[in-house]
């Protein structure tokens, strides 16, 4: 992915809604990206990573296996 990020969406509807923004930070500062094309890019990256992630049960099983390997 390249960096940690958060896509922020604000409540509201229609013209009253604030646009989504992407927030990233590093050791020297942060960037608040409000360009809609760039925010869409971050959202697509998030969706791709989420789509590849394990479900809750598989995640718990993986953590239990790792824990058992560390404690034996």
What Å distances lie between residue 13 and 19, 22, 57, 70, CA to CA? 10, 19, 36, 50
The whole-model pTM stands at 0.68
CB under 8 Å to 65, separation ≥6 — which residues? Answer: none
Q: How confident is the model at residue 10 (pLDDT cuts 50, 70, 90)?
A: confident
**At residue 1, does pLDDT exceed 60?**
no
* Residue 47, phi then psi, degrees to nearest 5: -60, -40
Average pLDDT for 21-48? 93
**At residue 69, does pLDDT exceed 80?**
yes
Who has greater pLDDT, 17 or 44?
A: 44
């Amino acid at each position: 992915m390249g960096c940690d990020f958060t896509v922020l969406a604000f409540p509201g509807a229609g013209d009253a809604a604030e646009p989504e923004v992407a927030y990233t930070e590093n050791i020297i500062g942060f960037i608040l990206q409000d360009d809609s094309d760039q925010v869409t890019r971050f959202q697509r990256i998030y969706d791709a990573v989420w789509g590849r992630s394990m479900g809750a049960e598989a995640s718990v099983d993986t953590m239990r296996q790792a824990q058992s390997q560390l404690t034996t």
